[in-house]
Amino acid sequence: MEPRYVVILAAGMGTRMKSDVHKVLHKICGRTMVEHVLTQVSQVQPEKIITVVGHDAQDVKKTLGDRTEYADQPEQLGTGHAVLQTAPLLADKEGVTLVVSGDTPLLTAATLNKLLQYHTEKGAKATILTAEAPDPTGYGRIVRNDLGIVERIVEQKDASHEEAAIQEINTGVYCFDNQALFAALKQVTNDNAQGEYYLTDVIAIMRKAGGIIAAYRMKNFEESMGVNDRVALAAATKVMQQRINHDFMMNGVSMIGPATTYIDVGVQIGQDTIIEPGVQIQGQTTIGRHCVVGAHSLLVDATIEDNVHITSSTIEQATMHRGSDIGPNSHLRPKADIGEDVHIGNFCEVKNATLGARTKLGHLSYVGDATLGSDINVGCGVVFVNYDGVKKWHTTVGDKAFIGSNSNIVAPVEIADHSFIAAGSTITKDIAYHAMGIARARQVNKSDFWDKLPLSKSSEWK
Ligand code: UD1
Ligand code: CA
């Protein structure tokens, strides 16, 4: 195989996005567009990947890190000019150079490999990836001669009436014989409607020099979609979402409403798990087998083991071990670690806390900065009072403890195994093994109550 090189164009301003964020840094299913492109091009075994950066170069470099080399294009004078900026890193190389845009996030490595293979088979100097567009507006058009041979590419703004009617478009993806590419780039001028140095002009230049120009027409236009504005961003997101959901379903995950199920790239879900409508699963989330993720749940960087049942809840940077359940309307915040077969019911919040196996937290409770053992019953409305206004404090509760409803556990305290807290207590001191803590005002029943009321009132109530 000839050595392969990749150039990603990502210097342009992206004016049509109307954004403070660089165009290629907008995200689709949890990943920036340019990262999608980089992931795919990395799979064609390139010797080198060079990303051309200009506008917001620092932001792009920060996102991609050392997964690519960079060429700077301080002034954006066109796509041809952009590729020319890679000359110091690339011009002396022999091999094939694949050029892609940072704003075509749906392209797949499978298509790129087919393009490269076609290029080699044809012995071409350049091969353009083309597609038949239902509406070609805005794209460069592929101009072929009577024999069907590609002559040149004409941009929308330079196209004649007849040329504008051509539906075969330039996807902005090409492979070139590297030496022929740099020879042709030197001859590109900016004599056109936009006053730019077009990469597309190298096609006519190479053709005139007698080189073979090939076009690989892909069947799926969608895949070549260039994202220039927010409407296209939403359209591309929908396609990516369908791909992701399709793959999960083919691998044994049930989706009741895939059209409203939003899952990021990189999420993992096990077989026989059911995902209900309106669910969002983001970041580095992994979900085991035989789980149910109920409608309108949000999972961010969550770790969910097998047989977990989630009902309309939010889980972020937290772990639920096998057989546990939560919801509806509960919230696991960072570093919540929910043990096997734990039950968390309605309107509970857990943060930076560990709950041991089979512990129950049925209703309306807050557990923050605590370590709870196993088989504990936490009554309704229990609050772990972890913050004194300055510092967060930690509480420990031992196995098989019983915490009565509406108790406040004021940290730091240690509640030993098998201890019991009477309902309504405000606990500020440690409780020993098997002891009961009760901390509430004693009830007083006053029988002379009525006699002390003003006459009028007392007769009314009696
Ligand atoms: C380009 C093609 C067009 C093709 C379309 C496919 C040219 C002249 N036109 O048009 O034929 O149908 O892509 O999507 O190439 N960029 C730079 N430096 C520059 C200018 C652009 O790095 O000076 C980058 C942009 O960031 C972008 C890519 O090149 O990632 C393409 O530029 P864009 O302005 O989006 O070109 P299109 O008008 O879409
Ligand atoms: Ca574009």
Closest ligand by atom to 196 CA: 1
Average pLDDT, stretch 420-443?
Answer: 97
Task: Grade residue 454 by pLDDT with cuts at 50, 70 and 90.
Answer: confident
456, pLDDT greater than 80: no
Query: How many angstroms does the Cα of residue 101 sit away from the middle of ligand 1?
Result: 7
Closest ligand by atom to 143 CA: 1
388, pLDDT greater than 80: yes
458, pLDDT greater than 60: no
* Closest C-alpha to ligand 1, atom 37: 139
Average pLDDT, stretch 156-172?
Answer: 96
Cβ atoms of 388 and 408 closer than 8 Å: no
The pTM (predicted TM-score) of the whole model is: 0.91
User: By percentage, how much of the chain surpasses pLDDT 90?
Assistant: 94
Amino acid making up residue 223: E
Q: Nearest to residue 351, comparing CAs of 387, 323, 308?
A: 387
Strand partners, 316: 300
246, pLDDT greater than 80: yes
Looking from the CA of residue 78, the nearest atom of ligand 1 is 23
pLDDT digits (tens, 9 = 90+) for 43-97: 999 999 999 999 999 999 999 999 999 999 999 999 999 999 999 999 999 999 9
Query: How far are the Cα atoms of 360, 413, 414, 417, 429 from residue 432, in angstroms, in the given order?
Result: 21, 11, 8, 8, 10
pLDDT digits (tens, 9 = 90+) for 101-122: 999 999 999 999 999 999 999 9
* Closest C-alpha to ligand 1, atom 11: 140
pLDDT digits (tens, 9 = 90+) for 11-45: 988 899 999 999 999 999 999 999 999 999 999 99
Task: Grade residue 462 by pLDDT with cuts at 50, 70 and 90.
Answer: low
Q: Is 228 annotated as a binding residue?
A: yes
pLDDT digits (tens, 9 = 90+) for 308-357: 999 999 999 999 999 999 999 999 999 999 999 999 999 999 999 999 99
Average pLDDT, stretch 418-445?
Answer: 97
pLDDT of residue 460: 63
pLDDT of residue 412: 97
pLDDT of residue 455: 66
Query: How many angstroms does the Cα of residue 103 sit away from the middle of ligand 1?
Result: 9
pLDDT of residue 13: 83
Query: How far are the Cα atoms of 216, 258, 362, 386 from residue 315, in angstroms, in the given order?
Result: 46, 20, 17, 20
pLDDT of residue 457: 60
Average pLDDT, the chain: 96
Q: What are the two backbone dihedrals, phi and then psi, of residue 121, each rounded to the nearest 5 degrees?
A: -55, -40
Reported for 240-247, long-range contacts at CB under 8 A and 24+ positions apart, including other chains, are 240/28, 240/29, 240/36, 240/105, 240/106, 240/265, 241/29, 244/29
Query: How many angstroms does the Cα of residue 261 sit away from the middle of ligand 2?
Result: 28
Task: Grade residue 461 by pLDDT with cuts at 50, 70 and 90.
Answer: low
Q: Is 101 annotated as a binding residue?
A: yes
